[in-house]
């Protein structure tokens, strides 16, 4: 037993996997942008990774129990922040997602992901049961729906959706009863057609995204064009890929936001099925390693924190990869650690900081 948590207790194999994923991401960002007006983007991404690593160390210093102690305060801060976005935030591309903090734009919804992990970990620990009652489930649903609704209002369907798996995974480990789970799944199955009929209440761009997802070939110049071009990029990459910097779909800009949300399409084109295998297996390795950390956590609170992080990262990978090959609509969910993006990258490192936090303290009393 040690008295103090040590940096040596960080999960270095996990961080090695993260490092390789980041490196592949930076290289692919370079390949996608070096011949365009956005040249030099990889340096910015590296800067964000650096900031993220710093954040990871910082967040690992604060005992996660302390964080969980302050969960209600953090929750309130998050809600106020989201309201702030709606009131004083500014718009880009028709969505109000950013507020300005000290000259830097900040996506509060990214922060909300971290907060919801902490809040739900606290909640499920406090329930202290292996059989969640309906009442418990109703409470956790209410807790989640407030930020989800606020994020949907921005509107940002993608990030709003990301909060849901944290609840589902948390409930799963907190001992949701199989009959409740079955009813829940049934409800979702019923809600989807209902939501489909309510689709006219969606924003036009969301309607279009769904429409396009269902019939990508009908609107070749519009949003369906994005999915089609992504599929062409992936498919034309073949088994071995076209080579670094040689993907025509990528280099000629046919792949939409090829350095960000569609970076996996760019990689699939240039590195082929082999490259995709490497990347997806790295992500699987990352997830399995995270689960291992959860298994070795000192207490349930730690496990909930780690699995909350795992749920979000896993969901990102699943939805992003599915979108790239046309299995899911375009929702604007980036591929963690590879897609270009400051807030998103910083979030992942902060989340990993929470994991390190739990790991470091597994032997500490």
Partner 1 sequence: MAPWNVTDQKIPQGRLALFSYVSAALVIILLVGFWKLQVVQSEHYADLAEKNGIRPIAIIAPRGAMLDRYGRVLVDSYPSFSILLMRDNPKLLEKSLPQIEDGLGIAPEDLHQQLEAAKFEPKFLPLVVKPAATEADIEFVESHRADLPILELEMVQRRRYPLGEMLANTIGYVGEVSPQDLEKNPEKYKPGDIVGKAGLEKEYNDQIVGTDGMKRVVVNSVGRVIRTLDNIDAIPGKPIQLTIDEDLQRIAETDFANKQGALVAMDARTGEVLAMVSRPTFEPNDFAVRIPQQEWASLNRDPNTPLLNRAIQAQLAPGSVFKVVMATAMLESKALPPTYTVYCPGSAVFYGRVFHCDHAHGEVNLHKGIVASCDVFFYNVGKQLGIDRISYYAKGLGLGRRTGVDLPGEETGLVPSEEWVERVYHHKWYPGSTISVSIGQGAVMATPIQLARMIAAVADGGTLIPPHLLKDATNPNFEHFPLSDDTVEQVTDGMWGVVNEPDGTTSGLVKLQNVDFSGKTGTAQTESFDLQHKLGQHLKENGWFVGYAPRRSPEIVVAALVQSGGWGSTSAAPIVRDVVKAYYDKKGGHLQPPSTAQNIPPASAPPQIISTGDESQ
Contact 295, 278 (CB under 8 A): no
Only one of the segments 7-15, 171-179, 206-214, 349-357 lies at the binding site for partner 1 (rule: CB under 8 A); that segment is 171-179
Smallest separation (angstroms) from partner 1 to the CB of 25: 18
List CB contacts of 337: < 8 A, sequence separation 6 or more.
18, 21, 22, 25, 345, 348
According to CB under 8 A, which one of 297, 309, 335, 350 is a site residue for partner 1?
Answer: 297
Among 30, 48, 262, 283, binds partner 1 (CB under 8 A): 283
**342 scored as a contact of partner 1 (CB under 8 A):** no
SS3 per residue for 60-117: HHCCHHHHHHCHHHHHHHHHHHHHHHHHHCEEECCEEEEEEECCEEEEHHHHHHHHHH
CA distance 95 to 59: 30
115 counts as binding partner 1 under rule CB under 8 A: no
Q: Which of 20, 23, 46, 65 binds partner 1 (CB under 8 A)?
A: 65
Q: Interface residues for partner 1 in 27-56 (CB under 8 A)?
A: 37
Per-residue buried b or exposed e for 264-301, using 16+ beta carbons within 10 Å of the residue's own CB: bbbbbbbbbeebbeebeebbebbbebbeebbeebbebb
Question: How far apart are alpha carbons 183 and 180 in whole angstroms?
Answer: 5
Binding of partner 1 at residue 273 (CB under 8 A)? Answer: yes
CA 73 to chain centre: 23
Q: Rule CB under 8 A: is residue 268 a binding residue for partner 1?
A: yes
- C-alpha 338/C-alpha 344 separation (Å) is 10
Q: How far is the CB of 168 from partner 1 (least distance, A)?
A: 11
Residue 217 engages partner 1 in binding (rule: CB under 8 A):
no
Residue 224 sits in the site that holds partner 1 (CB under 8 A): no
Tell me: does residue 180 bind partner 1 (CB under 8 A).
no
Least Å from the CB of residue 177 to partner 1: 13
Q: Does 69 bind partner 1 (CB under 8 A)?
A: yes
Does residue 308 interact with partner 1 by CB under 8 A?
A: no
Q: Which helix (H) or strand (E) holds 342?
A: helix 342-360
The residues that touch partner 1, with contacts defined as CB under 8 A, are 37, 65, 68-69, 122, 125-126, 128, 130, 169, 172-173, 175, 221, 229, 231-239, 248-249, 252-254, 268-269, 272-273, 276-277, 280-281, 283-284, 287-288, 291, 294-295, 297-301, 303, 307, 310, 314, 318, 321-322, 325, 327
């Amino acid at each position: 037993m040690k008295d103090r948590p040590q940096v040596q207790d960080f999960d270095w194999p996990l961080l090695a996997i993260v490092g390789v994923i980041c490196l592949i991401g930076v290289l692919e960002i370079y390949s996608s942008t070096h011949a365009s007006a956005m040249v030099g983007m990889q340096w910015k991404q590296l800067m964000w990774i650096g900031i993220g690593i710093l954040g990871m160390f910082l967040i690992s210093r604060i005992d996660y129990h302390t964080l969980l102690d302050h969960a209600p305060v953090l929750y309130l801060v998050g809600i106020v922040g989201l309201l702030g976005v709606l009131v004083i935030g500014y718009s880009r591309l028709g969505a109000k997602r950013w507020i300005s903090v000290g000259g830097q734009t900040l996506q509060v919804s990214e922060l909300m992901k971290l907060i919801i992990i902490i809040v739900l970990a606290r909640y499920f620990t406090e329930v202290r049961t292996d059989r969640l009652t309906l009442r418990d489930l109703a409470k956790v649903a209410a807790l989640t729906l407030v930020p989800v609704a606020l994020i949907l209002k921005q509107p940002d369907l993608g990030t709003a959706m990301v909060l849901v798996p944290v609840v589902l995974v948390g409930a799963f480990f907190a001992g949701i009863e199989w009959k409740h789970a079955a009813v829940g799944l049934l409800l979702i199955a019923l809600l989807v057609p209902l939501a489909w009929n309510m689709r006219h209440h969606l924003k036009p761009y969301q309607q279009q995204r769904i429409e396009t997802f269902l019939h990508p070939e009908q609107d070749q110049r519009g949003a369906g064009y994005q999915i089609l071009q992504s599929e062409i990029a992936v498919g034309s990459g073949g088994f071995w890929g076209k080579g670094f910097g040689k993907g025509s779909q990528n280099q000629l800009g046919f792949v939409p936001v090829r350095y960000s949300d569609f970076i996996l399409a760019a990689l699939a084109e240039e590195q082929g099925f082999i490259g995709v295998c490497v990347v997806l297996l790295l992500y699987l390795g990352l997830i399995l390693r995270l689960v291992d950390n959860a298994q070795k956590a000192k207490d349930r609170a730690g496990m909930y924190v780690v699995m909350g992080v795992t749920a979000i990262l896993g969901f990102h990978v699943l939805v992003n990869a599915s979108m790239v090959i046309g299995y899911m609509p375009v929702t604007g969910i980036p591929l963690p650690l590879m897609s270009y993006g400051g807030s998103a990258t910083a979030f992942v490192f902060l989340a990993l900081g929470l994991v390190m936090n739990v790991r470091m303290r597994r032997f500490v009393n």
